[in-house]
Amino acid sequence: METDTTKGKLVDYRNLVNARRVAAGDDRWIDSYDPYRGEPWARVPRCTSADVDAAVAAAKAAFRSGPWRGLTPTDRGKLLVRLAGLIEANAERLGQLETRDNGKLIAEMGAQTRYLAEWYRYFGGLADKIEGSVLPMDKPSNFTFTRHEALGVVAMITAWNSPLLLLSWKLAAALAAGNTAVIKPSEHASVSTLEFVALFEEAGFPPGVVNTVTGFGPEAGSALASHPDVAKVAFTGGDFTGQKIYEAGAPTLKHVSLELGGKSPNIVFDDANLDAAVAGAVSGIFAATGQTCIAGSRLLVQRTVHDRVLDKLIAIAATAKMGNPAESTTQIGPVTTRAQHARILEMIAAAKAEGARCVLGGGVPSDPALGAGWFVQPTIFSGVVNTMRVAREEIFGPVLSVIAFDTEEEAIAIANDSVYGLASGIWTGDIGRALRVSSAMESGTVWVNTYRAVSFMAPFGGYKRSGIGRESGQESIYEFLQTKTVWIETNLSTANPFALR
Ligand code: NDP
Amino acid 8: pLDDT: 53
Separation in Å, CA 242 to CA 113, 379, 478: 25, 28, 20
Interval between CA 237 and ligand 1 midpoint (Å): 3
Interval between CA 51 and ligand 1 midpoint (Å): 20
Quick check: CB of 293 below 6 Å from ligand 1? Answer: yes
For 46, the 3-state DSSP assignment is coil
* Of 303, 430, 332, 309, nearest in space to 103 by CA: 332
- Name the strands in the sheet holding 5-7, side by side, starting at the edge strand that comes first in the sequence: 5-7, 10-12, 39-45, 29-34
For 18, the 3-state DSSP assignment is coil
Q: Do the Cβ atoms of 288 and 161 come closer than 8 Å?
A: yes
- What's the one-letter identity of residue 387? T
Quick check: CB of 459 below 6 Å from ligand 1? Answer: no
Cα radius of gyration (the chain) = 24
Amino acid 499: pLDDT: 87
Quick check: CB of 259 below 6 Å from ligand 1? Answer: yes
**DSSP line for 348-405:** HHHHHHHT-EEEE--S----GGGTT------EEEES--TTSHHHHS---SSEEEEEEE
Quick check: CB of 479 below 6 Å from ligand 1? Answer: no
Amino acid 336: pLDDT: 86
The pairing of strands 153-157 and 232-236 is parallel
Amino acid 423: pLDDT: 98
Residues, the chain, total?
Answer: 501
Q: Distance (Å, rounded) from C-alpha 46 to C-alpha 255?
A: 26
**DSSP line for 51-107:** HHHHHHHHHHHHHHSSHHHH--HHHHHHHHHHHHHHHHHHHHHHHHHHHHHH---HH
Amino acid 7: pLDDT: 46
- Which sequence positions are flagged as catalytic? 259, 293
- What's the one-letter identity of residue 407? T
| Residues of the chain under the 70 pLDDT cut | 1-8
Judged on CB neighbours under 10 Å (0-12, 13-18, 19+), 38 is: middle
The gap from C-alpha 194 to its chain's centroid, in whole angstroms, comes to 17
**Atom of ligand 1 at shortest distance to CA of 422?**
41
**Atom of ligand 1 at shortest distance to CA of 242?**
2
- What's the one-letter identity of residue 500? L
